Every structure is written in structure tokens, then in C-alpha cells.
Chains A and B, each alone.
Chain A
Amino acid sequence: MSMPKLLVVLLIFLAFVFPIFVFRASASSRDAATSAISQAEEVVASAYEAVLEAEQAGANVSGLLVRLNEAGDLLARAQVAFRLGDFDETVLSANLCSEIGEEVRSEADELRVKAYGVRVTGSWLTMTGSLVGVVTVFLGSFWGWRVFKRRCIRRVLRMKPEVSADES
């Protein structure tokens, strides 16, 4: 086979094979983008759950909510890029979103533990204060009653009976 003929055959072969490679590459980027989005969605949801738990423990989560909104924006951007077929942008935005989500989750866990500690200490202080207060009121009332009763009895004993004359 002469050189030009070989070149033509090679070109025809490449013309058939190239689209298959391109299609496979495109399919694989689409899969990667889909998986990046689902992972980002899961991370954001679990970060939100961690923030909610931290809030329930009494932590101030306003800073974490700002970061979660940033993650939410990136997730929305990834979804739009996916719809437009820009899979590179999808993966980039989704991965950035996952990164922020992970950071928020770990910060929320730390805050929850701290807030829980503060809450337990506060509860103990409250309970101790209440207990001391109740005992003081109980003993004070008991002592006060005894003093009051003694004074009443003394006053009654000091009273002199008066005899009124029956004039009839």
C-alpha cells in the first residue's frame, strides 16, 4: 500500500474512532459532574444538620449560616453549569461547595461541644442556686414561724384577764 493510501485509510479510521473517544470523555465528565453535585448536596445537608444541632445546644450559629449560604450559592452555580453542559465549571463549583460544607460541619461540631459544656455548667449553677435558695427559704420560714409563734404565745400570756361586774 502506498503512503498516500495509507494516510487516507488512517484518516478514515480516526474519523470513526475520534467521536467514540469524545463521546466517552463527555460521558465520563458528565458522570463526574453528577457525582460532584450529589456529593455537594449531601455535604451541605449534613453541614446544615450539624449547625442545627449546634444551635439547639445554645451556640451562636449566625457566622456558620453566612458560610452555608455561600455553599448554597456555589451549589446553585454548579447546577446551572451542569444544565448548560459546562461540566468543568460544575465540578469546580460543586467541589468548592463541598469544601465549605465540610468546614462548616467541623466548626459546627466544635461549637456544639463548647456550647454543650457551657450549658451543662450553667445548668449545674442554676440547680445549685435553686437548691440553696429552697433550703434557705424552708429553714428561714421554719425559724420565722417559731419566732412568730413564741411571740404570739408570750403576748397571750402577758394579757391580764379583766373581770367585768355584772350589774344586774
Chain B
Amino acid sequence: MNLEEYRTVFVAGSLVLILIVAAPTLSLIIAFPGGSKRFSELWVLGSNHTAEDYPFNIAPNHNYSMFLGIGNHLGYCAYYLVEVKFRNQTPSSLLALFNITAFVADEGIWELPLTFSFDYKYNESLSQVKFYSLTLNDVTSDMRNYTVAWDSKNNGLFGNLFFELWLYNMTSQSFQFHNRFVGIWLNMTV
């Protein structure tokens, strides 16, 4: 190795060392892209806090329990709104029966135990269930406009209790649908 080659090695080594020493300051100026994706989780768990034993066969005025959870991986603390809705077989834009708000820290989870019961009566002549109310965590909501008709294909009176996740948008200063929903199908026994 001649002197010129030694000099190149010295300069390269010095530059590497300078980069290492200056890295903390460079990290303040240059934003390095994050390796992970930004997303939110929404889940419903059964009464044993597992993904089983979900309520299915429902009797009027009986209490059923499950867990609703949100996981935040957005990179900042988020302000969520969960809209609780009920529908029969045909999906439609429905009004929320309940609104649940949650502030979740970044990489944090939020969970809420839910206890619910339906008050309804079966109308034999119309073969349909007419609802009166839904009580969720001791708060009652009026459901007098809701009915579920007999599903002859699946032999039951089915309704879907579902939860939509909305996220507060700082720019528009309003909640926007966060493209996540979970729900459970319920069979209204008579």
C-alpha cells in the first residue's frame, strides 16, 4: 500500500467517525421514515375475554356481556368515537343508538366491558320481533322503530349489533369514519 492509498483509508475512516458523532444532531434535523404502518384496531371479545362465547341466542330482558376494545397504532394519542348501531339483514345508514368516546395513547389499548339487554316482543301474526329498547351499561335507548322479520332461510330472527369506529380529524374538526367496524349476530328467541 502506498501513501496515497493510506490517505484515502484515513479520510474514509474519519468521515465515518464524523457521521457517527453527528448522528444525534442529524436525527433532529432529518426525519427518518418509520418502519411500521399506522393503523387502529377494533375488537369485540366474549364474556370470558376471549374470541369465543359471544352472545347469540338472546331472550328479552336478559343481560349479556362482552368486551369492546380499541388499539391505537397511529403514532399519536387519538380521539375515537364508537357508534353502537343495530340492523336487521339489510345494511343501511343507521342512526347510532349510543356513542362511546375514547382517548387512547399511542401504542395503548382501551377496553370497555359491555352489558346489554334487549326488550322486545314477538308478533306472531306478522312473524316479526318488535323492539322496545336496548339497555347498554345501564343506559336505555329507544328502539321502537326497529323490527326483525323471520328469516325462513336460516330459521331465526336475526339482528346485528355492531360498532363503528370514528376518528377525530384535527383539520376538519369533526369525526370521520375510520373504516373499521365489528359486530355480532344475534338470534332473538321467543
Contacts and interface: CB of A to CB of B under 8 A. Distances in A.
Given A52-B76, A61-B77, A137-B14, A72 B102 contact: yes
A130 interface: yes
Contacts of A83: 141-142
B102 A51 contact: no
B170 A49 contact: yes
Interface in B71-90: 76-77, 79
Contacts of B104: 65
Given A52-B76, A52-B77, A141-B13, A76 B99 contact: yes
Nearest to A65: B103
Nearest to B96: A79
Given A49-B170, A65-B104, A76-B100, A148 B10 contact: yes
Contacts of A76: 98-101
Q: Chain B contact residues: over half helix, strand or loop, or mixed?
A: mixed
B69 to A, nearest CB: 14
A137 B76 contact: no
Given A48-B168, A138-B18, A72 B25 contact: no
Nearest to A132: B21
B102 A45 contact: no
B91 interface: no
Interface residues of A, number: 39
A55 interface: yes
Interface in A22-77: 44-45, 48-49, 51-52, 55-56, 61-62, 65, 68-69, 72-73, 75-77
A137 B141 contact: no
Contact of B7 (A49, A136, A145): A145
Nearest to B104: A65
B139 interface: yes
Q: Chain A contact residues: over half helix, strand or loop, or mixed?
A: helix
B154 to A, nearest CB: 33
Contact of B170 (A52, A69, A75, A127): A52
A141 B168 contact: no
Nearest to B79: A48
Given A48-B103, A69-B103, A130 B21 contact: yes
Given A83-B141, A127-B28, A133-B22, A45 B168 contact: yes
Contacts of B98: 76, 80
A168 to B, nearest CB: 31
A45 B77 contact: no
A144 B103 contact: no
Q: Which of B77, B141, B168 has the most CB of A within 10 A?
A: B77
B10 A133 contact: no
A68 B103 contact: yes
Contacts of B28: 123, 126-127
Given A51-B77, A79-B99, A123-B28, A145 B10 contact: yes
A127 B10 contact: no
Interface of B: 3, 6-7, 10-11, 13-14, 17-18, 21-25, 28, 76-77, 79, 98-106, 108, 110, 139-142, 168, 170, 173
